[in-house]
Structures are given as C-alpha cells and as structure tokens.
Amino acid sequence: GQQLNQSPQSMFIQEGEDVSMNCTSSSIFNTWLWYKQDPGEGPVLLIALYKAGELTSNGRLTAQFGITRKDSFLNISASIPSDVGIYFCAGQSWNTGNQFYFGTGTSLTVIP
Amino acid sequence: SAVISQKPSRDICQRGTSLTIQCQVDSQVTMMFWYRQQPGQSLTLIATANQGSEATYESGFVIDKFPISRPNLTFSTLTVSNMSPEDSSIYLCSVDSGQGYGYTFGSGTRLTVV
C-alpha cells in the first residue's frame, strides 16, 4: 500500500518553541488527517482537512491541506510538555477505496 | 465521535497459540477497520470488516492468519493465529466517525509473543 513520507522523523525542542512538521505523498488525496499517539494509547484525531488550501486550527495546533493535494503541514505553537508524543498524518483518496494511509510518524520531545 | 472499547489492552502469549481481540463500539457503524502497528512503526491496515460479509484483507494479510468476525454493527473480533514473535505488535481497531471526526481508534492491544 501507499506510504506517506513524514518529516522530520523526530524533534527535540525547548518548551515554548514552535514546531512544524509535514507529510508528502506521490498521490493526490481528498482528505488529510493529523493524529497524536501517546505511549500505550491509540491515535487521537487532532485535525481533519477536506479541501485543498484549507487551513484549520485546534487550539495551539494549525494544519493546512496543501494546494497540490499531495501534502499537508502541522504546526504547534508555544509547545508545552504534554505535547510529547508521536504525530501521524493520514491521507485518503477516493481512488483507494476510502482507505486511510498513514505517515511514518514524527516523534516530538519537549524539554522543560 | 464514536467511543471504542478494545480488549485485552495487552497480553503476553506463547508462540503457536492464538489470541482473539475484541472491539466494541458505542454506536452502529458500517465498516470497522483493523490495524497493526509494529514497534516504532506506523499503522498498517490489516483488513476492513463489514457486517454480513467476509472481511476484505490488504496485501500481505490472509484470513487464515487473521480471521475476523463481524456479527453485528457494533462489534468485531480479530484473531491472531499460530503466533510467532514477529506478530508482536499493537493491534488497533478503528471506525469512521463521519466527516469532521475522521477515523476513531481504540486504545489498542499490545501483544508480545514469546
């Protein structure tokens, strides 16, 4: 199946810094999702994007659906220790039977 | 969005045995999805479970190894059969909660095969 390239693979940042991560695909997607997974838990949906160019915020998190429909971006502003976790992007295309393909994940560590 | 209860949350199993994982949803859903997350890896779809029909398996996954049941619109099971250490992973069930909610995941089953 398809795999989305997510970068960076890991990040170590100071508390209060902003974070940016992105996800790219060789295929066009119709939906992009961003998830966060805490240790020992299943992924939890952060933001859903449904239209090219769409910019959506959820508190300190902002995500964008790329104009080319082949990428998406997630930004976290003023990071705090509880932002620690693994962030996954997921993309869905009508051509793939509505299946969601997941990115390789970005591991975020916030240093107090 | 839907609330999913998955159990067991973790188990340690002997090689050659089988484990059945249960997934209960608090609302009726058409499709339920089973994912595998190998250590340090992303999520890979195993199969899609539709009520009233056989599950649809992704490339690399077969029914004999991962039989799935879907007896009604709120429940599904995944069995990991004849386990080997390579099956040690987190197994997650998921449902489509509709537009605006994306896919909702259970908390996962952490399986260790020794």
B94's tokens: 């998921």
Decide: B4 and B25 in contact? Cβ < 8 Å: yes
Tracing tokens 């869905």 back to the chain, one arrives at A92
For residue A8, whether the previous peptide bond is cis, meaning omega lies within 30 degrees of 0, is yes
User: Could you give the CA distance from residue A110 to residue B79 in angstroms, rounded to a whole number?
Assistant: 38
Decide: A94 and A30 in contact? Cβ < 8 Å: yes
Please report the pLDDT score of residue A71 as a whole number.
Answer: 96
Query: How confident is the model over B90-104, as pLDDT tens digits?
Result: 999 999 877 656 788
- Measured CA distances, A98 to A111, B41, B45, B103 (Å): 38, 22, 12, 11
Contact status of A39 with chain B (Cβ, < 8 Å): no
Q: Which residue of A has its CA nearest to B110?
A: A40
Please return the burial class of A24, using the count of CB atoms within 10 Å of its CB with bins 0-12, 13-18 and 19+: middle
Cβ-based contacts of A90 with chain B (< 8 Å): 102-103
Chain A to chain B Cβ contacts (< 8 Å):
54
Distance from the Cα of A63 to chain B's closest Cα (Å) equals: 14
Q: Of residues A100 and B35, which shows the higher confidence score?
A: B35
Nearest to A50 by CA among B98, B17, B87: B98
Query: How confident is the model over A38-96, as pLDDT tens digits?
Result: 988 899 999 999 999 999 999 999 999 999 999 999 999 999 999 999 999 999 887 76
User: Could you give the CA distance from residue B114 to residue A37 in angstroms, rounded to a whole number?
Assistant: 26
Q: Is A96 helix (H, G, I), strand (E, B) or coil?
A: helix
Low-confidence ranges of chain B (pLDDT < 50): none
Q: Which residue of A has its CA nearest to B43?
A: A102
Q: Is B62 helix (H, G, I), strand (E, B) or coil?
A: coil
Residues of B with CB under 8 A from a CB of A: 1, 4, 6, 41-45, 48, 58-59, 92, 94, 96, 99-108, 110
User: Could you give the CA distance from residue A9 to residue A21 in angstroms, rounded to a whole number?
Assistant: 9
Beta strands in A66-111 (DSSP E): 71-76, 85-92, 100-102, 106-111
Please return the burial class of A107, using the count of CB atoms within 10 Å of its CB with bins 0-12, 13-18 and 19+: middle
Any alpha helices (H) in chain A, and if so which ranges?
Answer: none
The rounded percent of chain B whose pLDDT value lies above 70 is 97
User: Could you give the CA distance from residue B112 to residue B114 in angstroms, rounded to a whole number?
Assistant: 6
**Chain-chain contact of A104 with B99 (C-beta, under 8 angstroms):** no
Distance from the Cα of A46 to chain B's closest Cα (Å) equals: 9
Report the residue of A10, A36, A45, A96 to disrupt the B interface, i.e. the one with the largest count of B CBs within 10 Å: A45
User: Could you give the CA distance from residue B80 to residue A112 in angstroms, rounded to a whole number?
Assistant: 41
Query: How confident is the model over B54-65, as pLDDT tens digits?
Result: 899 999 999 999
